[in-house]
């Protein structure tokens, strides 16, 4: 696997969609923690030394389920756990529970500090083989917080507030590829739509004949947002079936605001 060019393997225990739940995959594994641990162990064994991470949620239906679920995952010692701060049942319908991320960090620190202490003690007593775990070798499992991050500054604030090791951004970066810039860059309407066009061209270049153009249209809704005339522009963009139409619609709109 190392020769394939990957940097790691990420296991999805977080997707809340009914189809995946019906197949007992993704967030359904929250209800089967022993099986989840077996999956992590098997993935680590087959990953050829690459780091194995997990993306998941606080619980299946209750936030309180996080304590037991997270402890199971930490005992499997993945390199990182990206924790979406909602339950499976909540999907994205409620604000993210960032207090739970802070609690997750405390649980991680408690469990893996104990593991490190035991491994150091064992080494001092005898010359037995060291515990082969990322916590003993390279530090603790990283806790990555996820949910409702709307700006780079907010992400940095959440890291400081919760003690997590980093932030995962999803929807916050839709229509905003400059999200991670340090200079608080605010694009003009022309710059925003020019990037949208570039996105559409690159998508077409990569996926024409392989994937439907409808997939890229959901991104148009994010780019064409927050300015006068955006609603009407979105309505037109959502009827397009190719990048040529998108370009014509955008050029026509830009002439109306010059």
Which tokens in the block code for residue 152?
């780079």
Residue the block writes with tokens 């996820």: 146
164 is catalytic: no
- Catalytic position from the list 11, 15, 74, 164: 15
Short-list 150, 142, 156, 163, CA closest to 99: 163
**Residue 180 token pair:** 């991670």
> What is the number of other CB atoms lying within 10 angstroms of the CB of residue 182?
7
Q: What's the token pair of residue 59?
A: 């619980």
Q: Report the distance separating Cα 117 and Cα 113, nearest Å.
A: 6
Strand (E) or helix (H) holding 43: helix 33-46
User: Would you name the residues annotated as active-site residues?
Assistant: 15
């Amino acid at each position: 696997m190392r020769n394939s060019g990957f940097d790691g393997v990420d296991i999805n225990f977080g997707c809340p969609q009914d189809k995946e739940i019906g197949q007992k995959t993704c967030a359904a594994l929250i209800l089967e923690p022993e099986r989840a641990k077996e999956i992590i162990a098997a993935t680590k064994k087959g990953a050829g030394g690459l780091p194995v991470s997990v993306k998941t949620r606080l619980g299946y239906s209750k936030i309180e389920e996080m304590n037991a679920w997270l402890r199971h995952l930490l005992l499997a010692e993945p390199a990182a756990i990206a924790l979406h701060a909602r339950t499976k049942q909540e999907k994205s319908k409620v604000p993210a529970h960032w207090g739970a991320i802070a609690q997750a960090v405390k649980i991680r620190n408690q469990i893996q500090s104990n593991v490190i202490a035991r491994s150091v003690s064992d080494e001092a007593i005898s010359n037995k083989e060291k515990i082969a775990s990322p916590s003993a070798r390279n530090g603790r499992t990283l806790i990555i917080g996820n949910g409702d991050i709307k700006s780079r500054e907010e992400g940095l604030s959440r890291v400081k507030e919760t003690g997590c090791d980093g932030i995962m951004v999803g929807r916050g970066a839709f229509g905003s590829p400059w999200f991670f810039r340090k200079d608080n860059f605010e694009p003009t309407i022309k710059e925003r739509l020019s990037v949208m066009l570039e996105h559409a061209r690159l998508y077409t270049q990569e996926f024409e004949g392989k994937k439907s153009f409808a997939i890229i249209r959901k991104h148009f809704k994010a780019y064409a947002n927050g300015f006068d005339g955006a609603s009407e522009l979105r309505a037109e963009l959502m009827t397009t079936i190719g990048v040529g139409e998108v370009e014509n619609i955008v050029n026509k709109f830009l002439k109306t605001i010059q």
